[in-house]
């Protein structure tokens, strides 16, 4: 079973992912995006590449991992000591320097490593062999990038001044780039790999781990657990819409929810998919899609409800297989 989400967010005045500081100027992360160019009659002329504000998938995944750490103890699910102490350590290192902790032991002892992957290596010694343990994350995050169809993202530096206590006449100006855009963002969860051990068997708490994976998503977006500079650049953020798919046995990735009827577009793809069953779910607060007009797509009213409905469908399918 495989789950994919596509979200639309309206985000104003954010500094969620800064890339570098040059002197007193701090730059926002940017990424190349494609802008569709049309003629007067709507015909496609081509594409133009432009740089736009972005939030990296790694930044979002960090917030997701912090949600897992906070939620897991209440579900009686294990978290390793390194992940528990990620704030003191300065990140999620996931026992990267301990290749002696084997793959299955990591999965059984830490849901963070299970759901978000790990890599541990050992250098080759004299006359010996190196070692690498790796698990690809079952939970995947795209970059958050502007929907260039509806509105181009912009970056504008904001001027601030640091007060100089020693010499008040010598103030220190500095600038921080702030971004505003309608962002699109994708998430995928490979349910088949959650709790899966090397020989193909599963941990005893697979269903609890799957439920945790979805609840951590709700906490991630509902609590804005990702991103930086929120003390004075807390962004104005709103979930505008989204589309989700639950597919089996083959993965189905939803078409990105760009401005337009992305619900109808995904429904047409599902009808022609032909290599498994796909359930679709949607919410649309902009009124730009056919969400709610087709009985083959489950309609909800918010991002949180979308995640809940998908979770319910996945857990039902897992229970039916037992």
- Tell me what pLDDT residue 40 has: 82
- Tell me what pLDDT residue 123 has: 78
Determine the Cα–Cα distance for residues 181 and 179; give it in Å rounded to an integer.
7
Average pLDDT over residues 63-84: 97
Nearest to 211 by CA among 194, 225, 198: 194
Determine the Cα–Cα distance for residues 298 and 319; give it in Å rounded to an integer.
20
CB-based contacts of 131, cutoff 8 Å, min separation 6: 99, 121, 122
- Tell me what pLDDT residue 189 has: 99
Determine the Cα–Cα distance for residues 281 and 296; give it in Å rounded to an integer.
9
Higher confidence at residue 145 or residue 122?
A: 145
**Over pLDDT 70: what percentage of the chain?**
98
Of 18-27, 35-44, 96-105, 231-240, where does mean pLDDT reach its minimum?
A: 35-44
- Tell me what pLDDT residue 214 has: 99
The average confidence (pLDDT) of the chain is 94
Please name every residue paired with 141 in a beta bridge, in sequence order, or none if there are none.
Answer: 187
**Over pLDDT 90: what percentage of the chain?**
82
User: Taking the domains of the chain in order of start, what are their residue ranges?
Assistant: 2-321
- Tell me what pLDDT residue 243 has: 98
Which pLDDT band holds residue 107 (cuts at 50, 70, 90)?
A: very high
Which pLDDT band holds residue 170 (cuts at 50, 70, 90)?
A: confident
Task: Express each pLDDT in 109-144 by its tens digit.
Answer: 999 999 999 999 887 766 667 788 999 999 999 999
CB 206 within 8 A of CB 318: yes
CB-based contacts of 247, cutoff 8 Å, min separation 6: 1, 2, 3, 4, 273, 276, 277, 278, 279
- Tell me what pLDDT residue 76 has: 96
């Amino acid at each position: 079973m495989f789950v994919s989400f596509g979200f639309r967010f309206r985000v104003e005045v954010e500094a969620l992912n800064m890339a570098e500081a040059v002197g007193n100027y701090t730059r926002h992360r940017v990424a190349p995006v494609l802008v569709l160019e049309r003629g007067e009659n709507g015909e496609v002329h081509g594409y133009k590449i432009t740089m736009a504000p972005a939030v990296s998938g790694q930044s979002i995944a960090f917030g997701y991992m912090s949600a897992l750490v906070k939620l897991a103890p209440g579900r009686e699910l294990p978290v390793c000591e390194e992940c528990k102490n990620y704030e003191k350590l300065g990140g999620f290192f996931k026992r990267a320097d301990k290749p002696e902790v084997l793959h299955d032991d990591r999965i059984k002892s830490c849901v963070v490593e299970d759901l978000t992957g790990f890599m541990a290596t050992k250098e080759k010694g004299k006359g010996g062999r190196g070692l690498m343990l790796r698990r690809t994350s079952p939970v995947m995050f795209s970059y958050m990038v502007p929907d260039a169809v509806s509105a181009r993202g912009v970056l504008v530096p904001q001027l601030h001044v640091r007060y100089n206590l020693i010499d008040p006449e010598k103030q220190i100006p500095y600038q921080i780039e702030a971004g505003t855009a309608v962002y699109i963002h994708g998430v995928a969860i490979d349910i088949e790999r959650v709790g899966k051990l090397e020989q193909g068997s599963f941990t005893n708490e697979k269903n609890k781990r799957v439920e945790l994976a979805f609840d951590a998503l709700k906490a991630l977006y509902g609590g804005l657990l990702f991103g930086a500079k929120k003390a004075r650049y807390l962004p104005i953020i709103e979930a505008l819409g989204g589309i989700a798919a639950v597919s089996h046995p083959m993965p189905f990735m939803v078409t990105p929810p760009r401005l337009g009827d992305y619900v109808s577009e995904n429904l047409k793809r599902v009808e022609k998919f032909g290599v498994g069953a796909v359930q679709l779910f949607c919410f649309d607060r902009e009124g730009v899609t056919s969400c709610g007009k087709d009985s083959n797509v489950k309609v909800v009213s918010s991002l949180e409800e979308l995640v809940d409905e998908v979770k319910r469908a996945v857990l039902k399918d897992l229970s039916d297989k037992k």
